[in-house]
Structure 1
């Protein structure tokens, strides 16, 4: 009998796991609202705009460029609000990047150790960060070897300094490998589905917002990235409060990171005291 009981329990465990996986992959239903997350990139340079972003719903995450002169102050303020903070890491682009002018980019040829040292510096500039996403980076994120070294450096950062980061692929170019390689390496990861303000005109932002909600309803969840434009912030101030009546739930971006194949959880938020 004990052997038969063990066999039954194993069978039930397998059934429970199968049901859980099916439910996770199902589109949103009336009982399970579509979920969206919003990340505002490029913070760290414009005090008035950045401060206004910190007035948005606290489930809106901020991604701060470590080179920005306001990075330390903003990251502490955001964490004090219980808002999620990401390092917005500059990477080289194909046609355009900020590497020569206002940002220090991780270069594709760097070793994992050098990348990890740069990431450690970034975590000191962007305190309380629990994740990382790329600023620009179309050349870097399509280079498989460079992406593998970056992912290795994120793992190295944890082993050397105890700093754990999830990875959000900003997906600035089709064919970006960042999410794919991060997940293979055992890091919780996700990708951007909609840019809210490629065109910062209000009507274009409204169209992108509708697209975000449509994608979330189809997939069950979706991630948007915006920027600290006045028009973007004003739009979010007006439209985030209306999500509930549309049957859509705004969640912190960490809630939409896919667990790694190794079962590693998303790192807990490091909150300010």
Structure 2
């Protein structure tokens, strides 16, 4: 009996030790997995502390992406026609400090047998190991050339702040200046003849988060006009690009009623030429992936030719188009832009002055008739849930009437 009891205790002690050893091994393994996980996601930036807050520096990360892009182009033996590069630094949106990175514009000749989609896949595969990705692909122009533009960069998060950095804008063109084909642009889904084209510009992205997802989910061409320096500006631009929409800067400009001015950083008629140019350039730098600009408010500023010449000179230097929101019938913005050789569009109707779904639908029906009568129409709505609902619900009706939704960049002249 005694011998049997001793054997039983020995077996019991063995099981306890086995359990303890298993727990220890699991703890070691768990720690190693966490360590490996942390090692696989090193920070994409360095931090430089200054007297006016920290500089979050993505220069090294963006230059790694440059190198990967160059390697992909060299491997395919593609001819690089032009490169422009600069270092950008912008203020952070939620805390004191700045964000710095290096960015380039690269014009590339693409052979006739290589499509834009093929280029996107080749470059996308090459930059993955450098932490980069192709953020968007869309038609554009480069110094008068028809091109397809690839926006390349990285995404990161800084203290819960979503961040998109554009490191490279690669412009694809043919030898004779024609843009490569095979660009995926959402088109009219309804059947029948196209009777008119409508461009929908949605202003005021950046103030709230809810409307970003609502508009991103609309599978038709929309133009996101993103106001700078707001809590959700970067996220709105990033989601706009990733959902296949176009992004422009919604530039704050002085209204006739100064008491109605909504943004502290606004282009005003009292500013000097240099002050205007500096403010416009800084605002452009804050919005990733933008291809154009329209005015936020601006009934006073857009009627001032000196102000508009200074604003538009910066747009021209950045190869951006301009859309006049037409907040003042005396605006000289569009006329001045065309005189300066800048591609330009004009708003013809605000669709949501009344913030009700039924009222927005009524305005969209008015826009439909304008498009049928004149062939095209450019209209402006705002980043509100009522407008998003109305646009989404009206798409079948518009398309049944022969209206094709297009990007505002397709209606410029």
Whole-angstrom distance in 2 between the partners of 1:112 and 1:241: 47
Aligned match for 1:181, one of 333, 336, 356? 336
Unaligned stretches of 5+ residues in structure 1: 1-29, 259-273
Please say if 1:68 is aligned against 2:230: yes
Aligned match for 2:298, one of 137, 142, 158? 137
CA RMSD of aligned residues (A): 1.8
Relative to total residues, which structure has the larger helix share, 1 or 2? Answer: 1
Please say if 1:122 is aligned against 2:283: yes
Unaligned stretches of 5+ residues in structure 2: 1-191
Distance 1:234 1:109, change over 3 A: same
Aligned pair count reads 222
Q: Compute the displacement of 1:89 (Å).
A: 0.4
Q: Match of 1:46?
A: 208
Secondary structure at 1:108's aligned position in 2?
coil
Q: Compute the displacement of 1:153 (Å).
A: 3.0
Secondary structure at 1:243's aligned position in 2?
helix
Q: Compute the displacement of 1:130 (Å).
A: 0.3
Q: Compute the displacement of 1:240 (Å).
A: 1.6
Contact 1:109 1:146 in 2 (8 A): no
Whole-angstrom distance in 2 between the partners of 1:209 and 1:32: 17
Q: Superposition pairs for residues 150-189 of structure 1, below 5 Å?
A: 150-155=311-316, 158=317, 163-189=318-344
Contact 2:345 2:408 in 1 (8 A): no
Q: Superposition pairs for residues 23-62 of structure 1, below 5 Å?
A: 33-62=195-224
Please say if 1:200 is aligned against 2:355: yes
Please say if 1:81 is aligned against 2:243: yes
Deviates more, 1:82-91 or 1:195-204: 195-204
Q: Compute the displacement of 1:103 (Å).
A: 3.8
Distance 1:64 1:98, change over 3 A: farther
Contact 2:277 2:310 in 1 (8 A): no
Q: Match of 1:5?
A: none
Q: Compute the displacement of 1:67 (Å).
A: 1.8
Q: What TM-score do you get using the length of structure 1 for normalisation?
A: 0.76
Q: What's the CA shift string for 1:49-99, capped at 9, x where partnerless?
A: 232222223411110001212111221221122210010001010125664
Higher relative contact order by CA 8 Å / sep ≥ 6: 1 or 2? Answer: 1
Contact 2:194 2:403 in 1 (8 A): no
Structure (1 or 2) with the larger CA radius of gyration:
2
Q: What's the CA shift string for 1:28-64, capped at 9, x where partnerless?
A: xx85520001011001011112322222234111100
Distance 1:229 1:135, change over 3 A: same
Contact 2:358 2:390 in 1 (8 A): no
Contact 1:92 1:139 in 2 (8 A): yes
Q: Match of 1:113?
A: 274
Relative to total residues, which structure has the larger strand share, 1 or 2? Answer: 2
